[in-house]
Structure 1
Amino acid sequence: MTVQRHDALGQEIERTFTAVRAALPATNVAAFDAELEAITHAPVVDLAALDDFLSGWWRIAMRAAQDPRDWQRMNEEAEQIHSGKRSAGRTLAEVLARRGVQL
């Protein structure tokens, strides 16, 4: 049995603001910057929110780096759904109900 690494092409993305921002696809950088600015320009910086922010964006950077084409496709599909060019499909609750799972 082999274990798959959960890093980008064998290289770990350092969990720092600079490294995470540099590893993000260009389409995600503006959202990263806007969210960071909102957190850091509060009268009192919430360190838990800042840590959650970095953790979340680090996971996004890792996921995007693992398969950039898949990440791009996912974002394109999300934009199509958001703009109304494509239906969202069934909800998770509908899929589970169809399989006999009650929530």
Structure 2
Amino acid sequence: MTAQPRAGRPGPAIERTFTAVRAALPAANVTAFDAELAAIAHADVVDLAALDDFLTGWWRIAVRAAADPDDRQRMHAEAERIRSGRRPAGPSLAEVLARRGARR
């Protein structure tokens, strides 16, 4: 099975296999991939549904990262600014809805 790029977002097709997904991941994600796979694979009984969910989730990350590496970099930089407190807090959901005239 191979991935087809989304319309308007060209990118390389990444086969949905453990080897192909791991190879397509940004270097910063490989350790997390390996750790999560080891946790699933070394269980007394391997949960095949969990293994499939694992591969699907990481395949999506690999496809998105390959389609737009710069966007992925920006997302991680923004996440770090939020974690470190360097990004000011935005409006709350209630404030956004109030501005739009929505009622909860």
Matches within 5 A, 1:14-93: 14-92=15-93
Distance 1:99 1:54, change over 3 A: same
Mark the runs of 5 or more structure 1 residues left unpaired by the alignment: none
Mark the runs of 5 or more structure 2 residues left unpaired by the alignment: 1-5
Pairs aligned (count)? 99
Alignment TM-score, normalising by the size of structure 1: 0.80
Structure ID, larger Rg: 2
Distance apart, 1:7 and its partner CA: 5.4
Q: What letter is aligned with 1:4? A: A
Distance 1:29 1:101, change over 3 A: farther
Alignment TM-score, normalising by the size of structure 2: 0.79
Give percent identity, aligned residues only. Answer: 71
Distance apart, 1:102 and its partner CA: 4.5
